[in-house]
Amino acid sequence: MRRILVTLVCLFGVLGTQSAEAGWRDYVSPTRNWQRVKGCCRSVVAGTEAYCRGKVEKAKADQEKMWGLKLPENYDARRPLVVLIHGLDSHSGVWWSMAQLLQGEGYQVGYFGFPSDGPIAGDASRLADDMAALHRAFPAARVSLIGHSMGGLIARAYIEGDRYTQPIDHFIALGPPNHGSPWTRERFLLEANEQYWLWRINPDWSPIWMFTDGHGEAADDLKPDSKFLAALNDRPRRAGVQYTIVMGDHHVLARFAGNTVGSMEACFSKRVWGLRRCRAGLERVETKLADCKGDSDGVVPVASARLAGVADVVLLHADHNTLAMAADGKPPVAWGVIRDRLGK
């Protein structure tokens, strides 16, 4: 043991000795090596930061392709344009079935995308910029806005704001959380759903997108006592714009549960007496879940969707999603109201 200690002391002494001339001791000296280690670490950190910065910049650039006002490829300012605005933690792809129906009626369809986790005021400012550009390019354009959920707040913030330039004929809000939504407590579920579908449909998708579209400010703005909602609801309705609010009274979880029960029915034969009775019982439960009504569409309470100064308010048997999207082989439930209002 003593020999080992003596050997270690001698070794450290040699390594720690500073040579008067350049030599091998310079390369094994702890002092010289520590400087090299620090320099190496600095290089690694700088390289990592540059790599991450490049990834973030690319992610933002790829996301920017989805944001802003997207007009039809062969836009004709002489024909009416309907701009569709998605909601929180969503994307313009959810409008596919609605867009097909609108185009079938002769309307041109545009989309407005935005970083849905950022502040709603920022999204409204982006919409105002694009509407101002549209008005400069096509002063006679006829435009209507349809907003789903938080998209209705973005549209209304533009319509009732100080930067209103492009006149809006009709404004139709589907399930708008005018007085907030309790669903913001489960926002992480919406974020996961959004990123899953973006991963499925967008080849540019990156996990970094979860962090580059905002930091949850929109969820704070959607809280019932938020400053954003208080300021927005203090504004008067815009004269000359035809407002329509469409609400739902079917909880979204009731539809999911009904679909689950419906799937279970296939496991029970209609021919065997006992199984047939089980199947009949499941059918009754499915029907009850499909018909049940409540005071919310599962995301936005009916009371929250109502807005002072708007008389055209329609309550439909639909949940938050089926108001705007096709489901179970059926068109969006709000389609009939939308077609009627746009036709006036």
Q: CB of 229 within 8 A of CB of 179?
A: yes
Average pLDDT over residues 57-73: 83
Same domain, 157 and 228: yes
pLDDT for the residue numbered 282? 76
Residue 268 belongs to some domain of the structure? no
Same domain, 37 and 71: no
pLDDT for the residue numbered 187? 62
Same domain, 311 and 245: yes
173 beta partners = 147, 245
Same domain, 169 and 35: no
Same domain, 134 and 184: yes
Number of folded domains that form the chain: 2
Q: What is the DSSP letter of 146?
A: E
**What CA–CA distance (Å, rounded) separates 229 from 157?**
10
- Between these two residues, 231 and 217, which has the higher pLDDT value? 231
**Residue 225: pLDDT above 70?**
yes
| DSSP letter for each residue of 227-276 | HHHHHHHTSPPPTT-EEEEEEE-S-HHHHHHHHHHHHHHTTS-SSSHHHH
Residue 22 belongs to some domain of the structure? yes
In this prediction the pTM is 0.80
Average pLDDT over residues 107-128: 93
Q: Exposed e or buried b for every residue in 18-30, given b needs 16+ CB within 10 A?
A: eeeeeeeeeeebe
Structure tokens at 319: 């949940």
**What CA–CA distance (Å, rounded) separates 251 from 124?**
29
Same domain, 183 and 242: yes
**What CA–CA distance (Å, rounded) separates 152 from 175?**
8
Same domain, 106 and 10: no
**Residue 20: pLDDT above 50?**
no
Residue 10's identity, in one-letter code, is C
Other Cβ atoms less than 10 A from the Cβ of 143: the count is 21
Residue showing tokens 């708007």: 310
Q: CB of 300 within 8 A of CB of 320?
A: yes
Residue 130 belongs to some domain of the structure? yes
C-alpha 327: how far from chain center = 19
Counting DSSP H helices and E strands in the chain, the numbers are 14, 7
| DSSP letter for each residue of 111-132 | EEE--TTS-HHHHHHHHHHHHH
Structure tokens at 172: 């139709």
Can you give the CATH number for the domain in which 315 is found?
3.40.50.1820
> 181 to each of 175, 184, 210, 231, 301, how far by Cα in Å?
10, 6, 22, 16, 7
Residue 14 belongs to some domain of the structure? yes
Residue 257 belongs to some domain of the structure? no
**Residue 210: pLDDT above 80?**
no
Structure tokens at 238: 């815009």
- Between these two residues, 2 and 221, which has the higher pLDDT value? 221
For 147, the 3-state DSSP assignment is: strand
Average pLDDT over residues 109-128: 93
Residue 97 belongs to some domain of the structure? yes
Same domain, 165 and 225: yes
Using pLDDT thresholds of 50, 70 and 90, give the confidence band for residue 232.
very high
Same domain, 202 and 332: yes
pLDDT for the residue numbered 65? 80
Q: CB of 116 within 8 A of CB of 144?
A: no
Residue 256 belongs to some domain of the structure? no
Same domain, 72 and 197: yes
296 beta partners = 301
Q: Can you give the residue range of the structural domain that contains 13?
A: 1-41
Same domain, 95 and 233: yes
**Residue 264: pLDDT above 90?**
no
Same domain, 129 and 193: yes
Residue 181 belongs to some domain of the structure? yes
